[in-house]
Amino acid sequence: MPFADIIGHDRVVEVFRRALRSGKTSHSYLFEGPAGCGRKTTARALVQAIFCAEREDDACGVCASCRKVAAGSHADIHYIEPDGQFIKIEQVRELQRDLSMRPYEAPRKACIIESAERFNPSAGNSLLKTLEEPPGNAIIILLTENAGMLLPTIRSRCQLIRFSALSTENVRLLLEQHGMAPETAELLAPMSGGSIQRAQELDNDTLGNRKDTLLARLSALDQNRIATIFDASEELGTSRDETLETLDMLISFMQDTAHLAAGSSAIVNAAVRPALEGFAAKWPLQRTLQILEDSMETRRAVQRNANSKLALDRLFMRIAATAC
């Protein structure tokens, strides 16, 4: 994928374009950012641009080299990912042997290492010298969600490139580019947390029903009718994963409701605007913000393994009391 097709990371792309034009790309990079934000796609785009002889600061996307990089089959790219729980020293030694050989067809060799925070101690220490002086001017790109989990000595040998989460609109565009129906992409994007990977992993078959159920249950919450609270948590908290999806959806809905209550029309859940406008008319901005804060705290509690149903019971009780 050429840089021209990378969505949501214009700043990062421009850094690499300048480096390519000046001929001063680093020998080792550390790409840090949330899962599904485009780190690996950008790593491949950088290698593709370095290997392509057709353009100065980007890949042409159509030459034989570009097609091989895009397909993940280029002989001069070495990929590493954890073997079980860790990246092991045998994998690093294999990489070192590969990099010690001359490139088959590219100007230099390349390696992309996923989940770089998962090197075991011996593998991490073995990699240090290679990062400092890669043989044959090779380029090594490490991908991680948290650079702080890597050995300081590894971090110090790499140029750190930080990636931010994708915007909701960028996630929606990418989902549609991957062939997802627009109405489904519009539903999933606000719940993705800026991750195309998370959006694709969501259960598309049941999510629409859960959205309708959540909106109906929220509208019916009544602190004087306790059954409306327990029925809501019973239906929407059947498992930890489903509870987290419900809370992601609720947080997104409340963010939009807060925008509407504040007089803004810019929302991401346009498909359910009428329902959200109803909440904004019923709940003043301060109450909506309190519901949002409570929802986010409940999500953190469930992530820490709190009982899903009890957590939703408590949240819906507070919503019913706050929204009365």
Query: What does the alpha-carbon distance between residue 300 and residue 105 come to, in Å, rounded to a whole number?
Result: 50
Give percent above pLDDT 90 in the chain: 65
Contact by Cβ (8 Å): 319, 223: no
If you count them, how many residues does the chain have?
A: 324
Place of tokens 């042409």: 60
> Which residues are paired to 139 by β-bridges?
110
- Whether domain 203-322 has CATH 1.20.272: the reply is yes
Number of neighbours of residue 56 by Cβ within 10 angstroms: 11
Q: Does residue 54 register a pLDDT over 60?
A: yes
Ranking 29-33, 130-134, 230-234, 293-297 by mean pLDDT, the lowest is 130-134
- 194 CB-near residues (< 8 Å, 6+ apart): 34, 36, 37, 164, 165, 166, 167, 168, 171
At residue 323 the predicted structure's pLDDT band, cuts being 50, 70 and 90, is low
Q: Does residue 228 register a pLDDT over 70?
A: yes
At residue 179 the predicted structure's pLDDT band, cuts being 50, 70 and 90, is confident
Query: What does the alpha-carbon distance between residue 280 and residue 262 come to, in Å, rounded to a whole number?
Result: 9
Q: From edge to edge, which strands make up the β-sheet containing 110-113?
A: 77-80, 110-113, 139-144, 28-32, 159-162
Number of neighbours of residue 151 by Cβ within 10 angstroms: 16
Going along 121-256, which residue ranges are E strands? 139-144, 159-162
Query: What does the alpha-carbon distance between residue 221 and residue 320 come to, in Å, rounded to a whole number?
Result: 5
User: Which CATH code is given to the segment(s) 3-162?
Assistant: 3.40.50.300
pLDDT the model gives residue 70: 92
Question: Would you list the domain boundaries of the chain?
Answer: 3-162, 203-322
What φ, ψ does residue 113 adopt, rounded to 5°?
A: -115, 115
pLDDT the model gives residue 178: 85
Query: What does the alpha-carbon distance between residue 291 and residue 251 come to, in Å, rounded to a whole number?
Result: 9
Burial of residue 128 (number of CB atoms within 10 Å: 0-12, 13-18, 19+): middle
pLDDT, mean over the chain: 90
Report the SS3 class of residue 88.
coil
Number of neighbours of residue 149 by Cβ within 10 angstroms: 14
Contact by Cβ (8 Å): 309, 236: no
Q: Does residue 259 register a pLDDT over 90?
A: yes
What φ, ψ does residue 111 adopt, rounded to 5°?
A: -140, 135
Q: Does residue 265 register a pLDDT over 90?
A: no
Which residue in 315, 185, 186 sits closest to 244, CA to CA? 315
Report the SS3 class of residue 58.
coil
Whole-number Cα distances in Å, 24 to 8, 18, 124, 159, 292: 24, 8, 26, 12, 47
Query: What does the alpha-carbon distance between residue 108 and residue 137 come to, in Å, rounded to a whole number?
Result: 6
